[in-house]
């Protein structure tokens, strides 16, 4: 988060139990993060008010006092409308804005065109609901603003996040117990992957690859000279493959053939490489394209290490099972590859690797394995073994002394931009994607158990659209975007508004949703716009039903967490 200078959820789960207002904005936590939602339920039973901002009336919306069903991709507009209402109603936290922020005047100017009427017209949300959310958020003693991929999986995902951060700055709903900004992470170790440097611009422990002082720390520790150039993000790698100057790729634990937007383009790129190595626990569709496959252990139960969760809590992962066949621990595989490359790295346990990280990352310095075990995990920053934990971040912004308060948090001036994949007469419907309760990502892991409440790959339509198109529930229909076309059974979802379709991403072997989605990437986080695809839906004529619903490749696909896409979640 460039606003505050450290990327992580600002609050703890425990705090949401004490909140008196909770906004789920682009987050269906009830289904996607059920145990996080348990904490929210504690607050709901104590009387907390809940708003759900989501194009779908989701399971989370069912728990909300009000549902703001906005049109897909109008989050920035809605946030401006909320901001303007807070300003015009005189509900700005003036002291906080004056002491802890910069850029307020520009923000006020940027808000100005977004009257309730204009915002309502642009977003599809009734003006009185926008007004109610604005007033309740500004007046709440402790408000939690939670979001997930509904905010980040857009071509302007970073702008969306900044638009939400602006609201917290405007009202001082951050840096206090119970008041915070909470990006709930989609994958088990998205937070940890980013913290450990699995971001092209970062070295482990929030160090900048471009900063010579930061590099020097690592160079001293490792006795090497590190390149000063930033690496490529996943989508930049895709571009580099297209341009032909990325010719060798080593993929660890990811199934981009099925998880990435515009899957046929991804397959073509990987097929054209000189050399592809895939390290995974399954022979995924991606691994099937590889020259070399390195069988790995399942990191959550066949090897040791740590994960970091959405409240910045580092927790120990332990080995419970002996891995099958020749599968090796990721640490060992990397060591053996280093050995083949002529570097005799020592054999290290996960704890030794962790201690090396502690020596380099002040935020993790105090977290010995002993303490992680005793305390059931610790939240960063935790620089000192005797020191206090940090349930919430950015308390400094409330300090009276400017010295202690430090760098003010800047308002972000962002522009409302509609999704790249435009609706028109040919593609008049808006398709959005997501996850269902029993299923996960490309389904590699969740397909392993027989869920009684799984209904598989399908396309959800509003009752109005079903009637208008003359489609029966269960009828197989053709869904076509500018990039591809799939067949899927129709499912009725009264939570959808007319014109909005939903498909789960979890069944690529049945219905390859990502052959429809667009690879329009956020310019900063490089996350693809999975959430907004323009499509048309057609009834199919007889004889067409036998056509395959998926491409020819067989087998299972993917592994624990698509980290490279995931680390961009915001």
Residues 285-324 that bind other proteins (CB under 8 A): 287, 293, 295, 298-302, 307-311, 313, 315-322, 324
Torsional sign, CA 458, 463, 466, 471: positive
Choose the binding region for other proteins from 101-109, 154-162, 260-268, 275-283 (rule: CB under 8 A). 275-283
By the rule CB under 8 A, 187 interacts with other proteins: yes
We find the least distance from the C-beta atom of residue 550 to other proteins, in angstroms, to be 17
Residues in the interface with other proteins (CB under 8 A) total 86
Q: Contacts with other proteins in 15-74 (CB under 8 A)?
A: 18, 32-36, 38, 41, 45
We find the least distance from the C-beta atom of residue 481 to other proteins, in angstroms, to be 27
Choose the binding region for other proteins from 77-85, 179-187, 260-268, 496-504 (rule: CB under 8 A). 179-187
We find the least distance from the C-beta atom of residue 406 to other proteins, in angstroms, to be 9
We find the least distance from the C-beta atom of residue 324 to other proteins, in angstroms, to be 5
Of 446, 480, 485, 553, the one binding other proteins (CB under 8 A) is 446
Q: 30 vs 155, which CB is nearer to other proteins?
A: 30
We find the least distance from the C-beta atom of residue 54 to other proteins, in angstroms, to be 17
We find the least distance from the C-beta atom of residue 393 to other proteins, in angstroms, to be 5
Q: Contacts with other proteins in 397-426 (CB under 8 A)?
A: 399, 404
Cα–Cα distances (Å) from 319 to 69, 126, 295, 377, in that order, read: 44, 52, 17, 17
Across 368-390, b (16+ Cβ under 10 Å) vs e yields ebeebeeeebbbbbbeeeeeeeb
By the rule CB under 8 A, 371 interacts with other proteins: no
Burial (CB < 10 A; 0-12, 13-18, 19+), residue 288, is middle
Q: 221 vs 321, which CB is nearer to other proteins?
A: 321
Contacts of 253 (CB under 8 A, 6+ apart): 279, 280, 281, 296, 299, 330, 559, 560, 561, 563
- Whether residue 9 contacts residue 184, with contact meaning beta carbons closer than 8 Å, is answered with yes
- Whether residue 364 contacts residue 382, with contact meaning beta carbons closer than 8 Å, is answered with yes
DSSP 319-338: --SPPPTT-B-HHHHHHHHH
We find the least distance from the C-beta atom of residue 186 to other proteins, in angstroms, to be 6
By the rule CB under 8 A, 251 interacts with other proteins: no
- Whether residue 420 contacts residue 518, with contact meaning beta carbons closer than 8 Å, is answered with yes
We find the least distance from the C-beta atom of residue 388 to other proteins, in angstroms, to be 5
Q: 126 vs 406, which CB is nearer to other proteins?
A: 406
Q: 74 vs 144, which CB is nearer to other proteins?
A: 144
DSSP 456-501: -S-EEE-HHHHHHHT--TT-EEEEEESS-EEEEEEEE-TTSPTTEE
Segments of 79-210 assigned E as strands: 101-102, 143-147, 180-183, 202-203, 207-208
Of 119, 160, 173, 188, the one binding other proteins (CB under 8 A) is 188
We find the least distance from the C-beta atom of residue 73 to other proteins, in angstroms, to be 24
Which backbone phi and psi does 357 adopt, to 5 degrees?
A: -60, -40
Q: 240 vs 277, which CB is nearer to other proteins?
A: 277
Q: 12 vs 120, which CB is nearer to other proteins?
A: 12
Contacts of 342 (CB under 8 A, 6+ apart): none
Choose the binding region for other proteins from 86-94, 422-430, 451-459, 470-478 (rule: CB under 8 A). 451-459
Burial (CB < 10 A; 0-12, 13-18, 19+), residue 172, is buried
Alpha carbons within 13 angstroms on the beta-carbon side of residue 450 total 0
Q: 231 vs 362, which CB is nearer to other proteins?
A: 362
Binding mask 372-401 for other proteins (x = CB under 8 A): ----xx---x-----xxxxxxxxxx--x--
Q: Contacts with other proteins in 502-561 (CB under 8 A)?
A: 555-556, 560-561
Q: Which of 257, 250, 346, 343 is nearest to 296 (CA)?
A: 250
We find the least distance from the C-beta atom of residue 402 to other proteins, in angstroms, to be 13
* SS3 label, residue 155: coil
- Whether residue 75 contacts residue 414, with contact meaning beta carbons closer than 8 Å, is answered with no
């Amino acid at each position: 988060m460039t606003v505050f200078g450290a990327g992580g959820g600002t609050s703890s789960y425990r705090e949401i139990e004490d909140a008196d207002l909770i906004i789920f904005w682009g987050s269906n936590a009830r289904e996607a993060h059920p145990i996080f939602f348990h904490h929210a339920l504690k607050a709901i039973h104590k009387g907390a008010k809940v708003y759900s901002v989501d194009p779908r009336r989701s399971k989370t919306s069912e728990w909300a006092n009000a549902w703001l069903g906005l049109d897909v991709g109008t989050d920035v507009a809605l946030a401006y409308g909320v901001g303007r209402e807070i300003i015009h109603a005189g509900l700005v936290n003036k002291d906080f804005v004056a002491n802890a922020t910069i850029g307020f005047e520009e923000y006020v100017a940027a808000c100005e065109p977004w009257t309730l009427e204009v915002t309502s017209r642009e977003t599809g949300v009734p003006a009185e609901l926008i007004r109610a959310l604005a007033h309740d958020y500004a007046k709440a003693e402790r408000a939690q603003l939670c979001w997930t991929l509904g905010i980040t999986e857009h071509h302007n995902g970073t702008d969306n996040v900044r638009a939400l951060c602006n609201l917290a700055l405007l009202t001082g709903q951050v840096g206090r117990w119970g008041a915070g900004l909470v990006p709930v992470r989609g994958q088990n170790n998205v937070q940890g992957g980013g913290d450990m440097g699995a971001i092209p611009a970062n070295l482990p422990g929030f160090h900048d690859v471009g900063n010579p002082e930061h590099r020097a720390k690592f160079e001293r520790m490792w006795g090497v000279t590190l390149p000063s150039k930033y690496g490529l993000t996943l989508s930049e790698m895709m571009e580099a493959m297209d341009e032909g100057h990325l010719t060798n790729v080593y993929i660890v634990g990811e199934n981009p053939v099925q998880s990435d937007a515009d899957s046929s383009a991804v397959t073509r790129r990987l097929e054209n490489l000189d050399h592809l190595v895939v390290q995974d626990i399954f022979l995924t569709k991606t691994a099937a394209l590889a020259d070399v496959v390195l069988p790995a252990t399942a990191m959550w139960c066949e090897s040791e290490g740590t994960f970091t969760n959405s409240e910045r809590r580092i927790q120990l992962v332990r080995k419970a099972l002996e891995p099958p066949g020749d599968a090796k621990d990721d640490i060992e595989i990397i060591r053996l590859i280093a050995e083949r490359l002529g570097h005799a790295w020592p054999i290290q346990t996960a704890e030794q690797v962790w201690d090396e990280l502690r020596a380099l990352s002040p935020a993790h310095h105090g977290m010995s394995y002993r303490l992680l075990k005793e305390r059931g995990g610790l939240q960063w920053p935790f620089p000192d073994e005797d020191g206090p934990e940090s349930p919430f971040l950015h308390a400094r912004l409330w300090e009276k002394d400017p010295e202690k308060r430090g760098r003010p948090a800047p308002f972000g001036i962002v522009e409302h931009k509609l999704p790249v994949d435009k609706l028109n007469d040919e593609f008049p419907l808006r398709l959005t994607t997501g996850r269902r309760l029993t299923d996960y990502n490309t389904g590699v892991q969740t397909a392993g158990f027989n869920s009684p409440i799984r209904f598989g790959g399908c396309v959800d339509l509003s009752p109005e659209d079903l009637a208008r198109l003359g489609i029966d529930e269960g009828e197989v229909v053709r869904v076509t975007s500018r990039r591809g076309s799939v067949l899927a059974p129709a499912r009725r979802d009264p939570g959808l508004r007319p014109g909005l379709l939903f498909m789960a991403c979890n069944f690529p072997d049945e219905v390859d949703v990502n052959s429809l989605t667009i690879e329009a990437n956020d310019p900063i986080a490089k996350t693809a716009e999975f959430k907004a695809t323009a499509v048309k839906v057609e009834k199919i004529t007889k004889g067409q039903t036998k056509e395959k619903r998926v491409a020819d490749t067989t087998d299972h696909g993917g592994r624990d967490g698509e980290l490279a896409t995931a680390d961009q979640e915001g």
